[in-house]
Amino acid sequence: MAKEQGTVLIAQNRKARHDYLIEDKYEAGLVLTGTEVKSLREGRASLAEAFVSIDRRGEMWLEGANIPEYLNGTWNNHAPKRKRKLLLHAQQIVKLSRQIEAKGYTIVPLSLYFKDGRAKAEIALARGKREFDMRQALREEQDKREALRAMRYKNMRSR
C-alpha cells in the first residue's frame, strides 16, 4: 500500500485567529483511537470550543475538540468531546508552560490536518485581543477590501 503524501486540512479554528494575536506556532501530533481517525478522514471535526491545557505531569491535552462518532462504528466507538493527548518535545512543553504563566497568554488550537498520513494539530501561543484591537483589525480588512474593489473597477474602466 502506498504511503500518503502531502497535507490534507480537516478543520480550522477561524475564531481563534480573530480573537487572539498569534505569537508562536507549533505542530503537535495527536493520540487518537481508530474510530477517531476514520471520522477525521471523512472530514468531520470542529475546533470551535477547543483549548489546550498542560497538566502537572507536563503533558499537553486538547480539550473541547469535537470529533463526532464514526457512523459505521460499533459499541467501541469513541466519545466525541474527550480529552486527546498532544505530542510535543519535552523542551517545547516546558517553554510553553512558562510562557502561559505570563498574564494574557494562552495556547489555542488553530487547525487539524493529516500530514503524510498522520494526524497533526497546529497549536499557537496567543495573547487575547482587546475589543479595540478587534475593531481595528476589522477596519483594516474592510479598507483593504475597498481598495481592491476600487482598483478592480478602475482597471475594468481603462480597457
Is the per-residue pLDDT at 133 higher than 90? no
Nearest residue to 37 (alpha-carbon basis) of 113, 119, 107: 119
Sequence-distant (6+) residues with CB within 8 A of 106 are 20, 51, 52, 100, 125, 126, 127, 128
Is the per-residue pLDDT at 7 higher than 70? yes
Is the per-residue pLDDT at 76 higher than 60? yes
Name the pTM for this structure.
0.75
Q: What is the pLDDT of residue 86?
A: 93
97 with 89: CB under 8 angstroms? no
Is the per-residue pLDDT at 66 higher than 90? no
Sequence-distant (6+) residues with CB within 8 A of 87 are 28, 29, 30, 31
Q: Looking only at Cα atoms, what is the longest distance across the chain?
A: 66
59, 62, 107 from 55: Cα distances, Å: 6, 11, 13
Report the alpha-carbon distance of residue 126 to residue 110 in Å, rounded. Answer: 10
Per-residue model confidence as pLDDT tens digits over 29-58: 999 888 888 888 888 888 888 888 888 898
State the chain's mean pLDDT as an integer: 85
Is the per-residue pLDDT at 78 higher than 80? no
Q: What is the pLDDT of residue 61?
A: 92
Q: What is the pLDDT of residue 88?
A: 92
Is the per-residue pLDDT at 138 higher than 90? no
Q: What is the DSSP letter of 5?
A: -
pLDDT class of 127 with cuts at 50, 70, 90: confident
